[in-house]
Each structure stands twice: as structure tokens, then as C-alpha cells.
Chain A
Amino acid sequence: MNIEQQDFYTQAILSMAALIGLSSFLMLGQGRLLRMIFVFAWQGLLLTLTTTLVAYSQDNPHLYISAVLTLVLKVIFIPWMLRREVIKMNSHRDIEALSNKVSLMLGGAGLMVFSYYVLHPIVQTSSPVMLNALAVSLSVVLLGMLLMITHRQAVAHVVGFMSIENGLFFAAIVATNGMPMVVELGVAFDVLVAAVLFGIFFFHIRTSIDSLNVDLLNRLNEVDDQNTEQNSPLSSLSSENRAQQ
């Protein structure tokens, strides 16, 4: 079926899906933190618009509440908090060198194809629109993960985390016209608490390692690191032996 044959509502939802997917790609390839946060705020705004659209066309008033929640949390509060954090760390001029942007983007595209592949069985029971909406939201989730894997800044991790939530919200709104109100409020509460906790964590991480680069969080692992080896009496003995030789 061509897109022109769909009604206006479906076309609008599909364009929103495309834009939200695009915004995920924009974040993925972004080395500057402030721009990434800016794109994240845009993604939240697109989500708010989608929610309002669904609320209006399906005549589902409780979705207006979740639209307001999304607007306040994802477009205003979280980007504001992250921006403040970046400026405080004085890292707003830094550009993170992403190792290989081309393969990163190709990987992202691969994830999108993969999401379509995974959700393809659904197409038998529902409209192609559903497939698109669900596949885009799954790929936003997966792209959020890829973002977290490839970026080294804690702020970028939070952006990835929250954009995963965005993807899930999109699925909930488009596929099922929103979850029951009590669940949606619960999820919004969790997101709010998580955002506050992230703020506290930035403070702790900064005071403990004086940076927000998570590569420096590397003390706990299964490999025996050298510091602990030197502390044990046996290894200090052997190093003395070596010194004598």
C-alpha cells in the first residue's frame, strides 16, 4: 500500500516515526555533548507531538497528561540538568573522537534492519503501520544502547538511557494508544527519580575521579590488576627477589 493511500493520521504517525528514528541517528554520530543534548530535547518534543496527535485523533484525554509529563521531563527538565552538568564540567567545547563514524552509522542502520526482521511476524496480525511504529521504536532502543557503548562520557550514557525510554514510550503510545494511566504515571515517576539520581551520581563521580569519563571507572573487574597484586605479601616478596637479581 502506498503512503498516499493512507489517511492523514497514519501518514503523520509514520513521519513522526521517521523523524524520531532520524534523531536517534543524529545523536549516535554526535561528538559534542551539548549538541547531543539538543537533539535529545528535540526527540522529546517529537514524542510530545506524537502523543498529542494520538490523544486528539483517538479522543483519548488521558494521553494529554502523558504528553505534558513528557514535555516537562524529557524536553525541559532532563536536557536542562544535563546541559548544566556539561557546562559545570567545562566540557562543552570538547569533541569526543568517535573511533569510526562510518562503521558506527552502518552498524546503526544494521540495527534498524534487524528490528524490522525481529518484528516481522507481527505484520500478519496487524497493519503495516504498526510494524513500522514498533520497529522504529525497537531500533530507537537499540540505537540508544549503541550510543551508550560507543560514547565514553557519563552524560552521553544518560542521554542514551533516556532515549531508550523515549523509544519505549513511542511504542506504547502508537501501538496501544498509551498504557493504562496508573502504569504510565508509575513509569514517569521512575524516570523522574532516575533523572534525579543521575544528577546525584554525576556529583559523586566528579568528586571521586574528577571527570565524567566512564573509562576511568575501571577498578572492579575479574582480571587481577596490578595494584592489588603488589599489596599481597607474596608478590612483594617476588619483586624483591627480582630486585636482588
Chain B
Amino acid sequence: MIAAYLVLLIPLFGIVFFAVTGHKKDTGKLNIQLNAISLLATIWLAINVLNKGTIISPDQAFLIDPFNVYLIVLTAFVGLTTSIFSAPYMAHEKDIGKLNDKRLKLYHSMYQGFMLAMYLVLTTNNMGIMWVAMEGATLATVLLVSLYRTPESIEAAWKYFILCGVGIAQALFGTILLYYAAAQIGNSDNALLWSVLYANADKLNPDILEIAFVFLLIGYGTKIGLVPLHNWLPDAHSEGPTPMSAVLSGLLLNDALYAVVRNKMLVDGATHSNMAGYLMMGFGMLSFLVAVLFLHRQKDIKRLFSYSSIEHMGMMTFAFGMGGPLATFAALLHMTVHSLTKSAIFVTVGYAAQLAGTQRMSKIRGLIKTQPKIGWGLLIGTIAIAGFPPFGVFTSEFLVLLATMHSYPWLTLPLLLGIGIAFAGLFRHIQPMVYGEKPEGQRPIKANLWPVMIHLAWVLWLGLSIPDFLANWFSQATLLISGSTPL
């Protein structure tokens, strides 16, 4: 249990420390070190859970089970590699005069604030605190989206704030209804604790829970970026600093989906109908199809990949909605490989944009000729995210398709079609950027591509063979969510 507290205390310390000390020369390095310590703490926590099974803290405030512990480790891992990328990137942004010390202080402090909110969403056992932490994640990142203080970034941040704030208010209404249903069966003191709710799920009033789930899905769905609530996502991703885009895409979206799945488990227990599943399938499919079409119309490289995030989140929501062991397993795997690949892509995109001095795709040319590492990184990342065979995204998408064919054969067609359109949409933009002649005067920049390589190597490994301990982990989580295991 100490490990769980440590996971929360380290970023809390980070917020205060960076806010007090201000920006120094080595703040970026300290940020890396803090995230590294967090990662160690989460691994310790994971080993505990692996050995002892589900842990609930004595005051029942925290719950660590196979489902959230692997997301906690993933969060810490992506947080660490992104901070490794962020240190030289932010130093470069300061050198070219886009940022000053004061804003970098805010940036580092809120980076830790965001990590704290993410860990809190994942570890808490209280559905109310989960909501508070989710809103906290918005509040921590909203000033980072407008970090550059350009009119565009302020507009993006305002949109993000208003849309996510209003959206997530719906989730609070859903949580209140959940509490109302739970209070009807007694013990109102700990009626919002997930473990208590889950144990008594079959006694909860199904009518109230159905209404509650609609609000919860809309609320947290705004954060997942489900169409038609996705408008904030491309703006926030494209206007904020690139490390922020990497953690937003890699972590925030996952954790919002995590919140929806936790709630779905309660609702399924109460209603015994697949109403929650159908809703998620519908929204997931809609998001997937709309996002793949929008991929073709993008002009800004970060907007392109944020639509790709919507596409993948749509597919995961669809798979979780389908339920069943195979689909759930596939969705969990897809969550992992997507956040690894997408954060790697955003790192390379950040460097590519610094290289070309713009985010407009029509101006980014000849990456491989200028700096092969960045060019190949972007190309391989795109191949991975488009779902080409040796990579993990292929495996998970294949499993999703397989599960769809089992349960809803006629839905395989739009899925396959969508994957094809997405592939075309990505490559028509990527190809001229990486190949071709370099524009005059384009020089290589200082870039650290280790995070990218490590992420892509993981994704490749997951595609070739899932290591035993991970497979075991996924199937335990699948058992928890869907009631049986695919292995």
C-alpha cells in the first residue's frame, strides 16, 4: 500500500517543488528524475498486485486491481519518456524565444499536476473522487494548452475548458444518480466506493443506473473525444506544446475510457441488459468513422494525428462496448499499443515541426534527407499506428475484427473500410513529408529519439509475441471486466 501512496505523493511534491523553486537550468532534468522515481514506485506497486492480487487500502479510499495497475504503470512510463523528450524540446522553445522562465515554471509544475490527476483517477476507489480528479486533469492542462499565448492557442484553451468543463459536469450528474441509487439500498457513508457498489451491483435500481450511465458516458466521453463531443481535441492537441499533446493523447484519453469502463461494470451488474454496451458501440463506431474521414482534410500535422487518436479511441470504445473476453482483451491491448505508439509519434512530430519551423504539412518536406532519424521515426510510427503487421496495433485491431466477426458479423465491413480509409488518409500526408527533396536552408536539430525507439520497440515486441507476464496481466484484467478469460 505504501507504493500506492508514494505514487501519489511524488507528483504532489513535484507540483510544490517546481512552483516554489521556479525555472532553473536543470528543471527539465529534475522533471525526468521525478518521473523516473514515479515509474519505480508504480513497478513496485505492480509487483505487489501481481503477487497478492487486488489491494484495497485500509480506509477503502484506494483500490488497485489488475485492470488499473497496468494503466498506472503505462501512465508512469509514458510520463517518463515524454519528460525525457520534453527537456531538450522546451529548452529549444526557450532559445527561440517562444517561452520564458515564468511559463516554463508553470509548465513543469502543471506537468506534475497532470500526472497527479491521472494517478488519482486510476487509483481511487471513490467514484466522486474519480470525477474530481478528472476535472482536475482539465484544470491542470488548460493553461498548458495556452502556454504560447497566441490567439489560436488561447482560443483552443478556451474551447477545451468550456467543452470539457460542461461535458464533465454531465458525468457528475451521472455520479450523483449513482449515489442516489446506492443510498437507496443503505450504507450511505461508503456508497460511492466502487468496491462496495460492485459487490452490491445487482441490488441497484436498474432504471436509475441506465439514466446515470447515459450521463456518465456523455461526460467522460467528452474527454475520450467521442464524436460529436470531440471538437476540443484537435484544437487542444495542435495548439499546445508537443509534450502536452503526447501525454493528452497517450494518457488522458485512456484514463477517461477507464472511467467509463469502471462505470459500465457497475451498470452491467445492475441492468442485466446490454444497454451500456450498445451505447458504447454506437458512439465508438460513429467516432471511428467520422475521424477516419476527417484525416483526409487536415493541413496541420498535429491535428492529423489527433484525429487518428479519435479514431483509435472510437475503436476501443466500440470493443469495450461489445464486451466478451476476446473484445475486452483486444481493447486492453489496443489501449496499451495506441498510447505507446501515439506518444512516440507526437515526439517525432514535435521534432519535425521544430525542424521545418511550422506545423503545416504543406511546408514540411524532405525529412529523411535532412535528418534521417526523425524521418524514419515518423514513417515507422505511422506504419505502426496504421496497423501494419509486425506491430502491436495490427494484433489488437485484428483481435477486435475477430471479435466483431464472432458477435456482429455485419459490423466488420465498416470497420475494415474505416481502417483502409484511415491508412490512405495518413499516408497521403506522410509520404511527401518524409520523402522528397529537402527545402533549402533546412538544417538538422538536436534531437533525442530514444523515447521513440523504446516505445516503438515495445510496440513491435507486443506485435510479435506478448510477453508472458503481460499476457497474464491482460487476461486477469479481462477476467475482471468481462467475467471470463480468452486464454
Contact = CB atoms under 8 A, between A and B. Distances in A.
B132 A121 contact: no
23 contacts: A125-B184, A154-B158, A165-B169, A171-B173, A171-B176, A176-B183, A176-B188, A179-B192, A180-B126, A180-B189, A180-B190, A180-B191, A187-B132, A190-B135, A190-B136, A193-B139, A194-B139, A204-B146, A208-B151, A209-B151, A219-B151, A222-B294, A232-B362
B192 A183 contact: yes
**Size class of A's contact patch?**
35 or more
B152 A220 contact: yes
B299 A197 contact: no
Contact of A219 (B155, B169, B190): B155
Contacts of A176: 176, 179-180, 183, 188
B162 A157 contact: yes
Interface in A30-59: none
A193 B133 CA distance: 13
A214 B162 CA distance: 12
A189 B162 CA distance: 17
A148 B183 CA distance: 33
Contact of B128 (A144, A177, A186, A222): A186
Nearest to A198: B161
Contact of A222 (B132, B157, B166, B297): B297
Contacts of A106: none
B162 A161 contact: yes
Most A CB contacts (10 A, CB to CB) among B158, B172, B235 go to B172
Contacts of A218: 155
A119 B139 contact: no
Given A161-B166, A165-B169, A176-B183, A190 B139 contact: yes
A154 B157 CA distance: 13
B129 A172 contact: no
B128 A180 contact: yes
Contacts of A219: 151-152, 155
Given A122-B207, A172-B176, A190-B135, A208 B149 contact: yes
Contacts of A122: 207-208, 211
Contacts of A208: 149-151, 154
Given A161-B165, A208-B154, A217-B159, 6 more contacts: A121-B207, A180-B190, A183-B129, A194-B135, A208-B151, A218-B155
B255 interface: no
Contacts of B360: 228
Given A180-B128, A186-B129, A145 B192 contact: no
A126 B183 CA distance: 12
B253 interface: no
Contacts of B143: 197, 200
A197 B362 contact: no
Most B CB contacts (10 A, CB to CB) among A119, A141, A171, A190 go to A190
Contact of B169 (A141, A157, A179): A141
A205 B149 CA distance: 9
B166 to A, nearest CB: 6
Nearest to A190: B135
A220 B142 CA distance: 17
A228 B298 CA distance: 13
Give the top 10 A-B pairs by smallest Cβ distance, nearest first: A183-B128, A186-B132, A121-B207, A217-B155, A208-B151, A190-B135, A175-B180, A220-B235, A164-B169, A172-B176
A145 B166 contact: yes
Contacts of A148: 162, 166
Contacts of A201: 146, 154, 157-158, 161
B210 to A, nearest CB: 8
